[in-house]
Amino acid sequence: PDTAGEMKVVDAVVEAMSRPFELTQLKVQIGVSVGVSIFPEHARDSSTLLRFADVAMYHAKRNKLHHAIYSPEIDPHTPRRLELISDLGQAVGEDQLLLHYQPKIRAEDGVLDSAEALVRWQHPVHGFITPDEFIPLCEISDIIRPLTLWVLRRALSDCARWQKSGHEFGVSVNVSVRNMLDSGFPGEVIELLSDFPMRRGALTLEITESALMEDPARVKLNIDKLHLAGVQISIDDFGTGYSSLSYLKHIPVQELKIDRGFVFDMLDDQNDEAIVRSTVDLAHSLGIRVTAEGVENPALMAQLRVIGCDFMQGYHIARPMPYEALRQWLDVQQGSVPGRSGGLAS
């Protein structure tokens, strides 16, 4: 729903509440979080509307936001979700999670630059559950912290193993906004890095643009710390955040990943092509490299090269795969590198 009108009211409330109160000569400053649910989009009766507003308010509080609008994704109270959330706590400790790796190649010569770690959950009863379903559940519960640390530990350990066997490529890990708002997070990453010897700059953290916008000042503090420790920062799903790009001036970002929605239609849709083109130009003028995700066919690959995109990722290059399969994939690639005839360079 269009919520511009509602948001004006919310902003006015937040603004009014954020002024200090005088309490018998004492100045008191309080914080406020507003939860919004909208009739009739979210519900048609008052008790459900109130419950949904409550859900949104707790979401806002937990994420230290001034306000949040209800959506089913932030509602932990559906039966399947409640069950999965309680199972997730165990899954992280047991052997139910695994990582798949999706290669990202250099556009000019097809050489593997890094692998993106993508988490998978093999549920003992429900079978395979996609990250699109369970990551949001981790984010509304407190499981996102142990989950991200688990992914980081496994990814760094795998990366150290392949660097030890002579491969130079790095690893990218997706982090959620909750991680980036947590002031303890950079320290935890730095500690993990010290457990696994690898070249500086081998670890990239992918942060969505919308995560960056939730609380730019706090996120920037964490990014600065990570940057000092040699961690690369990538903006994931770039173009979907409707944000002002001015943050790119203030935050040390090394990579933009253009959302696959733009890449996918680029050959048929001139607007999408213009977006990809101008993103590449903008990034390059700021010294930032660009990765196109969702590269599904050779025609796209060729056009992305013409445009000057630096790196590519997508089903046409390789699907996400287990560690062992990545090693085999690499062997095949390396076999085809000399002269770069067939394979990915074409």
Residues near Ca ion (CB under 5 A): 174, 206, 236-237
* CA-to-CA separations, 336 to 3, 103, 332, 333, in angstroms, rounded: 54, 16, 7, 5
Q: Is 118 in the site for ligand C2E (CB under 6 A)?
A: yes
User: Which CB, 237 or 255, lies closer to Ca ion?
Assistant: 237
What's the rounded Cα separation, in Å, for the pair 88 and 134? Answer: 8
Which secondary structure element, helix H or strand E, spans residue 34, and what is its range? strand 34-36
Minimum distance between the CB of residue 308 and Ca ion, rounded to whole angstroms? 20
* CA-to-CA separations, 22 to 12, 14, 15, 29, 30, in angstroms, rounded: 20, 17, 16, 9, 11
One of 33, 37, 163, 174 touching ligand C2E (CB under 6 A): 174
User: Which CB, 68 or 151, lies closer to ligand C2E?
Assistant: 151
Q: Is 315 in the site for ligand C2E (CB under 6 A)?
A: yes
Q: Is 132 in the site for ligand C2E (CB under 6 A)?
A: yes
Q: Is 119 in the site for ligand C2E (CB under 6 A)?
A: yes
21-23 and 232-238 beta bridge pairing: unpaired
Minimum distance between the CB of residue 305 and ligand C2E, rounded to whole angstroms? 16
One of 87, 209, 236, 310 touching ligand C2E (CB under 6 A): 236
User: Which CB, 114 or 174, lies closer to Ca ion?
Assistant: 174
Q: Is 314 in the site for ligand C2E (CB under 6 A)?
A: yes
Three-class SS state of 287: coil
Stretch that binds ligand C2E, among 20-28, 171-179, 195-203, 269-277 (CB under 6 A): 171-179
* CA-to-CA separations, 181 to 8, 11, 191, 238, 240, in angstroms, rounded: 25, 22, 18, 20, 20
* CA-to-CA separations, 86 to 22, 77, 91, 93, 131, in angstroms, rounded: 44, 12, 9, 12, 16
Query: Rg (Cα) of the chain, in Å, rounded?
Result: 22
Q: Is 131 in the site for ligand C2E (CB under 6 A)?
A: yes
Stretch that binds ligand C2E, among 43-51, 163-171, 245-253, 314-322 (CB under 6 A): 314-322
Interhelix angle for 144-164 vs 185-195, to 10°?
30
Place of tokens 């692998």: 115
| x/- letters, 253..292, toward ligand C2E (CB under 6 A) | -------x--------------------------------
Return the one option of Ca ion, ligand C2E, none that residue 303 interacts with (CB less than 5 to 8 A, by type): none
Residue 293's nearest CA partner among 282, 304, 284 is 304
Return the one option of ligand C2E, Ca ion, none that residue 151 interacts with (CB less than 5 to 8 A, by type): ligand C2E
User: Which CB, 37 or 232, lies closer to Ca ion?
Assistant: 232
Minimum distance between the CB of residue 217 and ligand C2E, rounded to whole angstroms? 22
**Does 40 sit behind a cis peptide bond, omega within 30 degrees of 0 on the bond before it?**
yes
The contact set with ligand C2E (CB under 6 A) reads 102, 118-119, 130-132, 135, 151, 174-176, 236-237, 260, 294-296, 314-315, 320
